[in-house]
Chain A
């Protein structure tokens, strides 16, 4: 049987473009089925790649410019770093509160403790 799907897509009210690379990668890398044990070439590393790609990849030109692994070093795009930033902010706020209550203490380095209990990432 033949199914006549309209071949359109893209943002509503804007010119339809071919499917975005990010949309495709999100699907072909991360979805679709994996039948374990019978795959001659089993790319477990793909999981890692997928995690990286899940963070972003929309502007392919920008990604090319920066190289494929750029997000590992860019703190703004790295979820671990943003967690850290959040944690930092929390600690700074706590410090502010403490200072307000006790008078300014010695300048103390903010130590990183165990992962903050209120991590909402992922």
Chain B
């Protein structure tokens, strides 16, 4: 444990790269001591051009392209990397805004990180201003089926009866689908009004979901910290109101603003 090296060293050390988690304001407080994605190295800040990059050294024999690729195909290792990356960024939320970088962004030296900060500084600063005092909240909706199931009818007495029943079933399904869509749209509209930003992501496939029901909304909202409790209360209220429509809501957060930083990449 005494062997931890600092971020200033890697330029001199051929074997180390710098995993970059995200970018903070230059005057943000440093992260509290915590281990990076490589447990032998702590997270540090590299300050430059009025910004601060959150980095931690990683040995390139483990984090080189090939071995990193292997790591990503191994769900257990991928999970560890993802959780540490997210954990570092989550802590950074407490120091004001943070622009999250995509996982596996590695620079070869502190000098290269500074170069990036200088080159992208204007855009990073603009995005950071928009994220100040903000966090992302995730809201997912699941269709879990409205109360009251289909009555099981007896065997149809004729072909016509069969067709009529088929049509009735189809109409009922269409009606239920419309009610569901309306409810989900309503939820999104209310939450969007309350938020500084909103992003709709494609619902995830239901097959493997730990949650029963099909995911029908997968949204992220950018919410001011001062309004976080109000937003939570609104989600809870909407959840109560739409339960009878067969919609269940799930809230997650606060998250670093992953869904609201993309402008920088343009």
B204 touches A26 (CB 8 A): yes
Q: Could you tell me which residues of chain B, from 194 to 230, have a CB within 8 Å of some CB in chain A?
A: 201-202, 204-205, 207-211, 225, 228-229
Residues of B within 8 A of A (CB): 17, 22, 63-65, 68-69, 72-76, 78-79, 82-83, 85-86, 93-96, 99-108, 112, 115-116, 119-120, 133, 135, 138, 201-202, 204-205, 207-211, 225, 228-229, 232, 235-236, 239, 248-256, 258-259, 261-262, 264-265
Instruction: Given A40-B112, A64-B76, check contact A9 B65 (CB 8 Å).
Output: no
Task: Output the least CB separation between A91 and chain B (Å).
Answer: 19
B208 touches A57 (CB 8 A): yes
Query: Of all chain A residues, which has the CB nearest B203?
Result: A54
A26 touches B208 (CB 8 A): no
Q: Which chain B residues border A36 with CB–CB below 8 Å?
A: 265
A-B contact pairs, 25 of them (CB 8 A): A4-B225, A5-B135, A9-B252, A11-B248, A12-B236, A19-B252, A23-B252, A25-B82, A26-B204, A29-B102, A32-B101, A32-B102, A32-B103, A33-B102, A34-B105, A35-B264, A40-B112, A41-B104, A43-B104, A56-B204, A57-B208, A58-B204, A58-B208, A60-B75, A62-B208
Query: Of all chain B residues, which has the CB nearest A6?
Result: B228
A5 touches B93 (CB 8 A): yes
Instruction: Encode A46-75 as 1/0 by CB contact (under 8 A) with B.
Output: 100100001111111011100011000000
A56 touches B104 (CB 8 A): no
A5 touches B204 (CB 8 A): no
Task: Output the least CB separation between A57 and chain B (Å).
Answer: 7
Q: Which chain B residues border A32 with CB–CB below 8 Å?
A: 22, 100-103, 258, 261
Residues of A within 8 A of B (CB): 1-6, 9-13, 19-29, 31-36, 38-41, 43, 45-46, 49, 54-60, 62-64, 68-69, 76-77, 79, 122
What 4 pairs across the A-B complex have the smallest Cβ distances?
Answer: A31-B258, A27-B258, A32-B102, A32-B100
Q: Which chain A residues border B96 with CB–CB below 8 Å?
A: 1, 3
B205 touches A55 (CB 8 A): yes
Q: Which chain A residues border B249 with CB–CB below 8 Å?
A: 12
Q: Which chain A residues border B138 with CB–CB below 8 Å?
A: 23
Q: Which chain A residues border B107 with CB–CB below 8 Å?
A: 38-40
A69–B72 Cα distance when bound, in Å, is 12
B79 touches A43 (CB 8 A): no
A77 touches B82 (CB 8 A): no
